[in-house]
Structure 1
Amino acid sequence: MHTHGPRTLPSSRPFASSTAGAHDHRQPPPRYLQSQQQSLSQYAGGRTPKRQMPSREPEEILIAVMGATGAGKSTFINLLSDSDLAVGEGLKSCTTRVETANTFELYGKLITLVDTPGFDDTTVSDTDILKMIAVYLSSTYETGRKLSGIIYMHRISDFRVGGVSRRNFSMFRKLCGDETLRNVALVTNMWSEVTPQRGAAREAELRTDPLLFAPVINGGATLLRHDGTLAGAQAVLAHVARNTPRTLAIQRELVDEHKDIADTAAGVELDRELAALRAAHVAQLAEIQREMEAALAEKDEQTRAELGAVRGELLANIAQIEGDRDRLSREFAVEKARADERVAKIQEDLELEKAARAERQLEISRLTDEMANSRTLSAREREDMQRQLVDLRKQRSRGGFFGKIGRAIDSFFGF
């Protein structure tokens, strides 16, 4: 992933569709987008994005993006932040670690989006995913920073919500806790893959089903649509970015209550899932054993060999599950200690940057006063002083705290 300074979003028409024709601008937007437009208008204060960075230090905002593999998290983040996070094809995951996008500016605020792998990753175990997310969230929280919002993405194109999606959503709820649901946006995407009628029907089911989104929406979460355009993504972000930052359940449990990660709500949920998966494998193993005995009695060596291979895979899976359950606490402690060292170094660097900014501000004030009060300065002297002022103002810290800490932490998760 390449990184650079904050990007200022250039659009002066935040709701212009990238695919709309010249005649479309006279038509009223869909009802769902009208409310999202209102959110963006209120967030922006009726102003268009500024092209220049403001003179004061912008407020920094951290927003996590979660959801199942293939839900479009990385694509959504890349669209907003001009990043190049890897994007998978189909249901194959490319996000194998917690990863921060390029910090960008929207309406005078520096925003960093955090991409997280789903709890159904094709290459990384759920144990490792929980460990990574917990390290990132607890490390940022210990420095006094909180998430302003969480975006949970869901494919409206899914024919039904299966067990994998339910497991992802269950883990998501345990990570967040009910106290932070007002900061949650449930975002449906991939609307181009369904008819409006079918999409609306699925949206209504998600909204009202007590086993799906209904409890979270009743707790304060908002259900939004993303139409795939930059304007639509900005509207979603505007709704989330105006929230008051809150402490997630996993942060409170690990940092404030000093719980072992296995004893957190997310850890308990993961252990329950692993236990259920192990039990299912054990039941399959017993069935395979009976079939192998029958094949042996019938002297069917080919079937017996095939069943033996399946039996070997099941035994390997059971061993992995047992290993995952045992290593969660141990490996979390080790990697959290590594993260703490990096965060401490970042904090030191930020203090040095703060002192340097104060010195630059004093020099800016001195030059500004001298230019305003001196009547003997020549044109060349004024031009030189003006150039110094421009250079000093350009030397502000770029990227923000969240971008720095995110790249420092996610760099040592290599899977």
Structure 2
Amino acid sequence: MKPAAPSEPEEVVIAVMGATGSGKSTFINIVSGSHLAVGEGLKSCTSKVETVNTFELFGKLVTLVDTPGFDDTTVSDTDILKMIAAYLSSTYQSGYKLSGLIYMHRISDFRVGGISRRNLSMFRKLCGDETLKNVALVTNMWSEVTPERGAAREHELRTDDLLFAPVLQGGASMLRHDGTVAGAQAILAHLAGNRPRVLRIQRELVDEGKDITETAAGVELDRELAAMRKKHIEQLAEIQQEMEQALAEKDELTRKELEQVRGELLQNIEKIESDRDRLSKEYAQEKAKADERVRQIQEDLEAEKAAREERQQEIARLASEMENNRNLHARERENMQRQMEDLKRRSRRRGLFSMVGGAIDSLFGL
């Protein structure tokens, strides 16, 4: 009887998102044994989409994807959206969907400010409400608060219509991470069995053929940029009035200080206008680079698959020969067993998503 070929473990892909400093990289390092750079305070160390090495958990191959927040200290929101969109659309076109999304939030935050709300809003625009069943809202840094204060903040997050309430009503789960490996593994176990789903931005860009500026996330970003520009223009008008007053009063020191502030505001306005203009063009350029890299890696994967199938056939042949020939000497049997073990090691499938994802994220380092 021909031995059955060993089934390959299912590959599960989970993205980790959230504001800068929310503990995304720390969580990934804890559960995967990776060594992603971790920032101190609110300084970002994740300035690109990054795929960590695949690891086995609960009989599945798990790949985690680290993403920068939409409040990065070194990269604009336009560049963040461009990178995430190109990454997600290219991997989707390659046949990969996410089984889960983790949104990290510090329970130690005294209050949820505008930056956290903006990150959550962009997260929802990227995912779409139809994928919320695959979302886990994960609170962490519980050791930095008392149990009573943490529970009170958790209740506020859960019930506030401007925070987590709509996401939870859409089917998302709210979980705690206690900072341990076991706790992180339990969160992944909660998501690993999900049916992989298409994110809203993947459907918009790939299936519907929209320009990135026409996607829900692109529209939301443009709205944010327009509001920032309006605010800066109002501040500029106020500064201009103060400068005229300082000039009338011959207050040269104040006038120079206001001139410096005016220059900074003008630079900010110019940058916002540039960000709004370049999103579509630069996304198309980076998406083309990502598509070409994916095409190359898929050719390599096909060659690897063919070689793996040949090794599996050789393993089956050796096993059948050992089964049918019981007169083999012990030394011959041991030699054949070693050959089979070597072939099995070489046939072990790597995380295919991590290979494709790694090929793409290497294009977007800033």
Q: Same fold (TM over 0.5)?
A: yes
Q: Counterparts in 2 of 1:155-234, with a 5 A limit?
A: 155-234=106-185
Paired with 2:323 and 2:352, the residues of 1 have a C-alpha distance of 35
Give the CA deviation at 1:413: 1.5
Secondary structure of the equivalent of 1:174? helix
**CA RMSD for the aligned pairs?**
1.0
Q: What is residue 81 of structure 1 aligned with on the other side?
A: 32
SS in structure 1 opposite 2:34? coil
**Superposition misfits of 4+ residues, deviation over 4 angstroms:** none
1:335 is displaced (CA, Å) by 0.5
Query: Which residue matches 1:287?
Result: 238
Match of 1:278? 229
Decide whether aligned partners of structure 1 residues 398 and 79 sit closer, same or farther in structure 2, where only a CA change above 3 A counts: farther
| 1:154–1:224 Cα change, 3 Å | same
Matches within 5 A, 1:11-410: 55-410=6-361
- State the shift of 1:57 in Å: 1.3
- Aligned partners of 1:189 and 1:228 also within 8 Å: yes
Alpha-carbon distance between aligned partners in 1 of 2:314 and 2:348, rounded to the nearest angstrom: 16
| 2:133 maps to amino acid | R
The structural deviation recorded for 1:407 is 1.4
Using the size of structure 1 for normalisation, the TM-score is 0.86
Q: Deviation at 1:399?
A: 3.3
Distance of 1:407 and 1:111 partners within structure 2: 14
Query: RCO greater where, 1 or 2, for CA within 8 Å and sep 6 or more?
Result: 2
SS in 1 for 2:347: coil
Per-residue deviation, residues 268-299 of structure 1 (Å, max 9, x unmatched): 00000000001111111111111111110111
C-alpha distance in structure 2 between counterparts of 1:297 and 1:397, whole Å: 79
Percentage of pairs with the same residue? 76
Q: Which runs of 5+ in 2 are unaligned?
A: none
How far apart are 1:349 and its partner, in Å?
1.0
Q: Distance in 2 between matches of 1:358 and 1:84?
A: 33
Long gaps (5+) in structure 1: 1-53
Offset at 1:144?
A: 1.6
| Deviation of the 1:367 alpha carbon | 0.4
Task: Kindly provide the CA deviation profile for residues 366-393 of structure 1, in whole angstroms up to 9, marking residues without a partner as x.
Answer: 1001111113321111111011001000
Paired letter, 2:318: L
Distance 2:178 2:330 in 1: 54
Q: What does the per-residue CA deviation read over 1:220-264, in whole Å, with 9 as the maximum and x for residues that have no partner?
A: 000100010111111111111111100000000000000000000
C-alpha distance in 1 between matches for 2:138 and 2:36: 19
User: Using the alignment, how far apart are the partners of 2:6 and 2:41 within structure 1?
Assistant: 44
Take 2:56 and 2:150, find their aligned partners in 1: how far apart are those partners? 32
SS in 2 for 1:185: strand
Letter in 2 for 1:149: G
Aligned position for 1:47: none
Distance (whole Å) between structure 1 residues aligned to residue 363 and residue 41 of structure 2:
27
Aligned twin of 1:32: none
